[in-house]
Structure 1
Amino acid sequence: MIELNNTTKLYGHVIGVNDLTLTLPTGAYGLVGPNGSGKTTLINLLIGHLRPTLGRVSVFGQDPFQHRSLLSRIGLCPATDILYPNVSARTWVTYLVRLHGFSRRESQSMADAALELVGMSSAMHRPIGTYSLGMRQRTKIAQAIAHHPELLILDEPYNGLDPVGRDEMTTLLKQWTRQGKGLLFASHVLQEIESVTSSFLLIFGGRLLASGTAGEIESLLSDTPQEVRVIGRDAPQLIHRLVDMPWVNSLQLTDQRSELRIALRDPSQFYERLAGWIAEDGLRIDQLQTAEGNLTALFASLLKHHRGETA
């Protein structure tokens, strides 16, 4: 479905994506990374809006920059608001479907079906300028799927959706993947993607730092240096257990004295022992927070691992 060979995109002296090499068969993949990590640049390379400075991009065996007809096989929901306020959702989606070569009647029928699928039938004749952010997001997703593409690319698709809308969109995307179609879902929120697919691509600073299933990435992270926060009234009592351990880099007790910050060289050693220590000492611990709760910290840890900075 997608193949990148030493793909690099430069904006002058700024690196958008950096030497990406990967092959993805048809399936569902989550593209995870903090804001500014290179997700949108990679998407623009896949749809042919950008040409790589170095390397090669291939979608369904073709260069998307040179073969514009390839866009009829791709559906894109961009992160930006690109809707026209004075036209209705039905008119806008119909027009975009017609650009793929369908007749007016076919386009209207396909637009109606897509808008119904995303829950916009009752409002599709109203001007888009009267819509809430969530309604505009649903309309963008409708135009992405209306022409029945083989690959759906979503850039932050849950933006503006309320909890009900998020649940409905998750159901829609699961149905999409069960049909055997391709999906690339970009987000900086790991949990959003995990509800749809277990296959991840982790990108940071334009580099692909890790790929695989959630379990495989968690296994990698367990061997990656990171900071852990133990919160609870008895957190300070863990210090005597940790102070002489060779895999602990530093210990810091906050002013509230109910939060212990631990910099770990080998987190797996800590996780193996923690439950036993709490039980043996009868400790009251309320929370354990790791880098997984903070994507910036998580990717910083992976970047150190990528560079070989494991100490």
Structure 2
Amino acid sequence: MSPTEAPEKPAVVEFRSTSKWYGQVIGVNNLSLRIGPGVTGLLGPNGAGKSTLLQLATGQLRPSQGEVRVLGVRPWSNAGLNRYIGLCPEQDAMFEWMTGRGFLRACGSLAGLGRKAARQAADRVLEQVKMTAAADRPVRGYSKGMRQRTKLAQALIHDPQVLFLDEPLTGTDPVARHELMELVAGLAKQGRTILVSSHVLYEVQTLTSQIVLMNRGRLVAFGDVRQIRDLIDAHPHRIVLKGPDRRALAAKLVRWDDVEGVELPRDERSIVVETRAPDRFYQRLPQLAREADAPIEEIYSDDDNLESVFKYLVNP
């Protein structure tokens, strides 16, 4: 699988050779992508095209070239699709004088719910995002984290099948962040398709290993973090080993032909090994771990996280 090749799965959100430009500025450049059920993380530096991609998917922008489909239909100029998709935007757009409950009831009515159904839906989503206690306070008095919870609630008010979340955790405290991530994970388990845009890599990694990585309007990589990392052959894998006698361990490893370098960080029990043949390296480790003069207590690789993938693929 190449870094830009999507795994085979039912496509709920699909971009077909899609481009969007604003005069001389290209927001999305010839992007082809198929996204199926579950959580997919959308990553990229500022100006990568993430917001443009979400606006195309939610029908706020019309593609300059190519095609966008969500649930099999084009989102542009398709008001009927709004019943099945939800958007949590990055920017606030709330009526400050309204209470949280009143705002959500209004959102329910705009989504096509009747008065009773809108009231019931508002109560449901307030409970989901844990805002019931503050529901009758004016929005203008909400903290940033409370506003984020309320924005997520309005995206859920009509129980959509597909969710687009643009930086949904910005400004939230650790407790709120944990609760909202649990909520998103729970929604995915119910079979929903969720595309989460974020610049905070560890947040996305907590939610999913399936990522879309964009840079300068182009698709750089799509797939599982570990699969993508395995394809970056130009960069050696960095593997951390811990043991009571790291110097004895290092002395043995430097003689291995698949080891390109050994570092001794400040942690007195750790060594960092660089190798371009990680599979072979891991196969040989059990025998080394059994040797009494070089015991190994812990093994892990920092190169399997999103930050490493991000740096390798985006930075020149």
Task: Tell me how far 1:64 sits from its aligned partner.
Answer: 1.4
Name 1:268's counterpart in structure 2: 279
Q: 1:144 aligns with which of 134, 139, 155?
A: 155
SS at match of 2:164: strand
Of the structure 1 ranges 139-148 and 165-174, higher mean CA displacement relative to structure 2 is found in 165-174
Q: 2:229 aligns with which of 204, 221, 243?
A: 221
Of the structure 1 ranges 227-236 and 43-52, higher mean CA displacement relative to structure 2 is found in 227-236
Contact 1:4 1:23 in 2 (8 A): yes
> 1:1-311, aligned counterparts within 5 Å?
1-11=12-22, 15-25=26-36, 27-36=37-46, 37-189=48-200, 192-193=203-204, 200-205=210-215, 206-211=218-223, 214=224, 217-222=225-230, 224=232, 225-228=235-238, 230=240, 234-243=245-254, 245=256, 247-253=258-264, 260-280=271-291, 281-283=293-295, 288-293=300-305, 295-302=306-313
Identity percentage over the alignment? Answer: 34
Contact 1:32 1:190 in 2 (8 A): no
In structure 2, the CA distance between the partners of 1:10 and 1:229, relative to structure 1 (3 Å rule), is farther
Contact 2:144 2:172 in 1 (8 A): yes
After superposition, the CA RMSD in angstroms is 3.5
Residue deviations 1:182-237 (CA, integer Å, cap 9, x gap): 32233345654565556x133131314132xx5xx424524533452637674454
Provide the rounded CA distance (Å) in 2 between the counterparts of 1:53 and 1:226.
40
SS at match of 1:48: coil
Provide the rounded CA distance (Å) in 1 between the counterparts of 2:284 and 2:158.
54
Contact 1:156 1:186 in 2 (8 A): yes
Contact 1:226 1:301 in 2 (8 A): no
Provide the rounded CA distance (Å) in 1 between the counterparts of 2:307 and 2:222.
15
In structure 2, the CA distance between the partners of 1:113 and 1:222, relative to structure 1 (3 Å rule), is same
Q: Which amino acid in 1 is paired with 2:43?
A: G
Q: Which amino acid in 2 is paired with 1:52?
A: P
In structure 2, the CA distance between the partners of 1:9 and 1:297, relative to structure 1 (3 Å rule), is farther
In structure 2, the CA distance between the partners of 1:296 and 1:279, relative to structure 1 (3 Å rule), is same
Q: Which amino acid in 2 is paired with 1:290?
A: D
Q: Which amino acid in 2 is paired with 1:143?
A: Q
Unaligned 5+ segments in structure 2 are: 1-11
Provide the rounded CA distance (Å) in 1 between the counterparts of 2:165 and 2:267.
43
SS at match of 2:61: coil
SS at match of 2:127: helix
Residue deviations 1:90-135 (CA, integer Å, cap 9, x gap): 2222222332334445433422332233221221111122222222
Contact 1:31 1:39 in 2 (8 A): no
Residue deviations 1:239-292 (CA, integer Å, cap 9, x gap): 444445554444555588876554432333333334543542425767745123
Provide the rounded CA distance (Å) in 1 between the counterparts of 2:281 and 2:195.
35
The alignment of Structure 1 onto Structure 2 pairs a total of residues equal to 298
In structure 2, the CA distance between the partners of 1:143 and 1:243, relative to structure 1 (3 Å rule), is same
TM value normalised by structure 1:
0.77
Unaligned 5+ segments in structure 1 are: none
